[in-house]
């Protein structure tokens, strides 16, 4: 199987970022399975892609941000599992996420959702290490919602790490509405961007910057965003904003000067994470 035919290049970049941070002397995250993933992917990637993506030197700001975000979403997961012993965690657009092994050494209730070919590729690369449920379909397809509901309809944590901003605005809003109609006593944690980056000159600036930095224009076009986190409460009934989080709030952020900007919303609300209750 040609892995790059079914996995976005941004998923490989995200994976490589975690590997880079894991291999540092004082790593932000402990993520050995990510190294296994990257090594196995390298055996399937065409030479051109390897040189342009896998073998490319990534900006240290990017790799640090990816690791910080992963650690924060791991923490959200652990807190939810501690609060609800029967909790189910659903990762939307999982790509080559390795959260399952970072969160616990023991088996826990976890589901990953991504396009069918992506799931198939991940299973080929990790083989029998994957002992949790996977669902191969678009996150915008109601099929996965029905499958999750058949398992449980409460105490579900939905994670959308680096996903929604690349999907159409109306379809993401519709997804929120479906989740709010279907689940209770649940929660969603997702990353978003300021809406101004989804159109016009700001959108073009982001696309140009990402292409220069990453060597690809895959996943560089933002479509979904909000001006203020509170807006998500209008996407469906029983959606309540709980908290917001930005990379700027983490002391491990690089360069360090960014930490001193953590109280300035002009900077912190360009790309950030929102946590909301559902039902």
Map 238-257 to HEC letters: CEEEEEEECHHHCCCCCCHH
Q: Is the pLDDT of residue 38 over 80?
A: yes
Number of structural domains found in the chain: 1
Sorting pLDDT into bands at 50, 70 and 90, what band is 56?
confident
Residue 5: the pLDDT is 46
Residue 208: the pLDDT is 79
Q: What is the tens place of the pLDDT at every residue in 103-150? A: 999 999 999 999 998 898 899 999 889 999 999 999 999 999 999 999
Q: What is the CATH classification number for the domain harbouring 71? A: 3.40.50.150
Distance CA 49, CA 39 (A): 14
Distance CA 209, CA 211 (A): 6
**Beta carbons within 8 Å of 38's beta carbon, 6+ residues apart:** 12, 15, 16, 19, 54
Q: Are 245 and 72 in contact (CB under 8 A)?
A: yes
Sorting pLDDT into bands at 50, 70 and 90, what band is 218?
low
Sorting pLDDT into bands at 50, 70 and 90, what band is 4?
very low
Torsions phi, psi for 139 (to 5 deg): -70, -15
Q: Is the pLDDT of residue 33 over 90?
A: yes
Q: Is the pTM of this model over 0.85?
A: yes
Distances in whole angstroms, Cα of residue 55 to Cα of each of 26, 65, 263: 23, 19, 36
User: What range does the domain containing 197 cover?
Assistant: 3-278
Q: Is the pLDDT of residue 98 over 70?
A: yes
């Amino acid at each position: 199987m040609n892995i790059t035919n079914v996995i976005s290049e941004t998923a490989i970049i995200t994976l490589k970022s975690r590997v880079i941070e894991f291999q540092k002397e004082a790593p932000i995250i402990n993520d050995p399975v990510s190294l296994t993933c990257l090594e196995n992917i390298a055996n399937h990637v065409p030479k051109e892609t390897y040189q342009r993506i896998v073998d490319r030197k990534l900006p240290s700001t990017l790799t640090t941000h990816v690791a910080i975000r992963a650690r924060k979403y791991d923490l959200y997961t652990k807190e939810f599992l501690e609060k609800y012993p029967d909790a189910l965690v659903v990762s939307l657009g999982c790509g080559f996420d390795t959260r399952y092994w970072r969160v616990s050494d023991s088996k826990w209730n976890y589901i990953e959702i991504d396009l069918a070919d992506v799931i198939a590729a991940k299973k080929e690369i990790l083989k029998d290490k994957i002992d949790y449920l996977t669902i191969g379909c678009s996150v915008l397809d109601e099929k996965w919602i029905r499958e999750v509901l058949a398992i449980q309809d409460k105490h579900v944590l939905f994670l959308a790490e680096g996903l929604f901003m690349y999907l159409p605005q109306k379809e993401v809003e519709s997804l929120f509405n479906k989740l709010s109609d279907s689940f209770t006593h649940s929660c969603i944690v997702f990353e978003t961007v300021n809406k101004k980056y989804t159109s016009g000159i700001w959108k073009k600036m982001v696309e140009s910057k990402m292409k220069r930095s990453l060597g690809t224009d895959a996943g560089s076009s933002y479509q979904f965003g909000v001006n203020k986190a509170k807006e998500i409460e209008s996407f469906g009934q029983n959606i309540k904003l709980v908290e917001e989080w930005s990379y700027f709030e983490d002391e491990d952020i690089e360069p360090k000067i960014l930490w001193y900007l953590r109280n300035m919303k002009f900077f912190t609300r360009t790309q950030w994470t929102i946590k909301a209750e559902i039902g």
